[in-house]
Amino acid sequence: EQPSAPSPIAAPLRELPWGQLNFLHTTDTHGWHGGHLQEAQYSADWGDYISFAHHLHKRADDDGSDLLVVDTGDRVEGNGLYDASNPKGKYDLDIVKQQSIDVLTVGNHELYQRNTSDREFNKVVPDFKNSYIASNLDIYNPKNGERTPMAQRFRKFTTKNQGIRVIAFGFIFNFQGNANNTVVQPVEEAIKEQWFKDAIDDKEVDLFLVAGHVPVRDSPEFDAVYKAIRDSNWDTPIVFFGGHTHIRDYRKFEKKAWALESGRYMETLGFLSISGLGTGKKDEVEAAASPDYKRLYIDNNLYSLYHHSGKNASTFDTELGKNVTKAIHEARKKLKLDHAYGCAPHDYWLSRTPYPSDDSILTWLENQVIPDTFNFTKIPSIILTNSGAIRFDIFKGPFTIDSTFLVSPFTSGLRTIKDVPYSAASKVLQLLNNEGQILLPDLAAVSQTDRVDLDQLRAPFAPVNEDTFFHAHTSHAHDLALEHHQTFLGRKKDGDKDKDDTPQVPGYTTKDDAGTDGDDTIHQPIKFYQVPNCISSNVSFPAPEYAAAYGPVNFRPVHISTPEKVDIIYNEFIENWILLALEYLGEKREKKDTSAVLEGKSMTDVISDWIKKSPDWACPKEKDV
Ligand SMILES: Nc1ccn([C@@H]2O[C@H](COP(=O)(O)O)[C@@H](O)[C@H]2O)c(=O)n1
């Protein structure tokens, strides 16, 4: 772990369900390869993950089983280690490549910006030459402009010790927000291609491995792949590894097909094992009628990693793991990620507190950051931003260069549409928030264009279902993390009357299709709240008029005047939605009617500029960083 990372907190653990074929799975790491430096529960880094995988590989070699490592995309955007360098990923991509990964896919965040996907093609695909799979993604080759598959469409390989014959695919969900140098082929189309039909027709295969930047539940894309495989190969076991919705989840398709999703931000190392698979060595190993699938969501901290690898502080680090940890530290220093712009006076939460409330990031943006930033305009304005642009909580204490990218890494600039009648402009928020009589799907349906993607506007934590949301959602063991010391929270022993065995570490309490025993760490549950898709602030509006209603002392407003026209200011990412809402409200505007505001600064710039200037966020002298 990084030198400044808080020590992990001991807690009761469930055991690793080791089997014949074992998997480690990461997804949606979003650049958090240095681990969580303010949360002890997730404080291990990519170097530790490398050491951990090494020990599990050794275990597999020793007992003749196998281990495969999978990553399902969104490795970029969301942490200073990736976002603060120029070019982005200057250090991070070389750090990630040190892990030996068997199956790797793209995510939507690798495709938003042309530069990112070009770099993915020119660097990351060659770095993971044998394992990068792009079953439904093409790119226009930056060298010659020719459309070409981003990487191989699938791969067939045999596991090292057992000789299990695996066919692996790598999909991305039907994403539409990519830059125009890549082409995402709808999954339902890709599986009609001859190469796919031939691959699933192969009878010399013991396991289909479908990796994808695709949610495992309510997933038309994985449902289609599952059906296609079963239509041509009714019995061969299938395993899915998914992502994108940032949750821990495990779904049963049927007894020979399960799907794992392993959270987000390097909080979770997903583990899955299958026993009872057939192998190429037919004489030696007979396939079971019903292979046994098991899963464990490992909290990414050294306490858990030592335990599951049977190592300790003096035996855990491998040479490579240590070097990668060091490289992360050096990169963080070069990027000055610990430099503080100010100090947060208290914690601000994205979804761990109701909205609105005093400790909600969205309320803080709406009531303080946005009004203070835009009050220069003097023109009545409605400023809108999507809550999805905010990615993480702010903890009390130093707000650093790194924090800026944790909270909002995006470069989308702020834009304006001028002189919109207030009667229409004031209804845009309600439409975008899916409130009232007209709902987002209705809006999308009236659109004559394909420029909107419903999923894109969704709030960041739109739950797959209530259960998954409240039970499987992320945790922040921050309160304990900040104490920087180890507290033993083991289970009660016989005769140990005065200790109770109530879990003390707050975190995931996942409920999935296999039950409630999936989290390796037995956590105290955390409650999460829904947040709206978008928030808005009115700035430079006429002051309300007051009248003395109850005599000279008690005044109350009698008339709140509204402007006739306003400027709408918004984060470019939601521009298509704003245009669509205005069109629906009878105020059609086009892209040419929009222009940059604040010289195209992003929400990230707005937040850090505000923090630098705000006296309430000045760091106490003795704690200056
Ligand atoms: N320029 C951008 C890009 C993305 N977003 C937000 O991120 C969401 C997608 O992130 P996932 O980790 O869920 O893939 C997207 O729906 C937006 O909310 C943004 O605000 N600006």
Complex prediction ipTM: 0.99
**Residue 286: its pLDDT value, please?**
81
d(C-alpha 338, C-alpha 328), whole Å:
13
Q: Which CATH class is domain 21-334?
A: alpha beta
Is 35 exposed, middle or buried (CB count within 10 Å of its CB: 0-12, 13-18, 19+)? Answer: buried
pLDDT over threshold 50, residue 125: yes
> Where does the chain hold its CATH 3.90.780.10 domain(s)?
340-461+530-623
**Residue 581: its pLDDT value, please?**
94
d(C-alpha 51, C-alpha 1), whole Å:
11
Is 168 exposed, middle or buried (CB count within 10 Å of its CB: 0-12, 13-18, 19+)? Answer: buried
Residue range 452-511, pLDDT digits in tens: 566 666 654 433 333 333 333 333 222 222 223 222 222 233 334 444 567 788 999 999
DSSP labels, 444-513: HHH-SSS---HHHHS-TT--SSHHHHHHHS---THHHHTT-S----PPPPTT-TT------SB-----BT
Q: Note the pTM of the prediction, 2 decimals.
A: 0.91
**Residue 476: its pLDDT value, please?**
27
Ligand 1 atom closest to Cα of residue 412: 1
Ligand 1 atom closest to Cα of residue 389: 20
Count of Cβ atoms closer than 10 Å to residue 589 Cβ:
16
In the structure, which protein residues have their CB atom closer than 6 angstroms to any atom of ligand 1? 74, 108-109, 112, 244, 386, 388-389, 410, 412, 456, 460, 573
Residue range 158-178, pLDDT digits in tens: 999 999 999 999 999 999 999
Does the domain formed by 340-461+530-623 have CATH 3.90.780.10? yes
Ramachandran angles phi, psi of 232, nearest 5°: -110, -15
CA of 246 relative to ligand 1 center, distance in Å: 12
> Are 116 and 110 in contact, with CB atoms under 8 Å apart?
yes
> Are 242 and 221 in contact, with CB atoms under 8 Å apart?
no
**Residue 28: its pLDDT value, please?**
98
Ligand 1 atom closest to Cα of residue 78: 12
Mean pLDDT of 382-392: 96
> Where does the chain hold its CATH 3.60.21.10 domain(s)?
21-334
Mean pLDDT of 304-312: 98
d(C-alpha 616, C-alpha 342), whole Å:
9
CA of 388 relative to ligand 1 center, distance in Å: 6
Task: Please name which of 469, 473, 471 lies closest in space to residue 517, comparing C-alpha atoms.
Answer: 471
CA of 389 relative to ligand 1 center, distance in Å: 6
Nearest-CA residue for atom 16 of ligand 1: 456
Helix, strand, or coil here: 519?
strand
**Residue 440: its pLDDT value, please?**
66
CA of 381 relative to ligand 1 center, distance in Å: 24
pLDDT tier for residue 545 given thresholds of 50, 70 and 90: confident
pLDDT over threshold 70, residue 137: yes
Residue range 211-243, pLDDT digits in tens: 999 999 999 999 999 999 999 999 999 999 999
Mean pLDDT of 441-453: 61
CA of 178 relative to ligand 1 center, distance in Å: 11
pLDDT over threshold 70, residue 93: yes
Pocket test residue of 30, 76, 105, 109 for ligand 1, highest count of atoms within 8 A of CB: 109
- Give the least confident one: 20-34, 287-301, 448-462: 448-462
**Residue 310: its pLDDT value, please?**
98
**Residue 397: its pLDDT value, please?**
96
Measured in whole angstroms, the distance separating CA 170 from the mean position of its chain's CA atoms is 18
> Are 415 and 597 in contact, with CB atoms under 8 Å apart?
yes
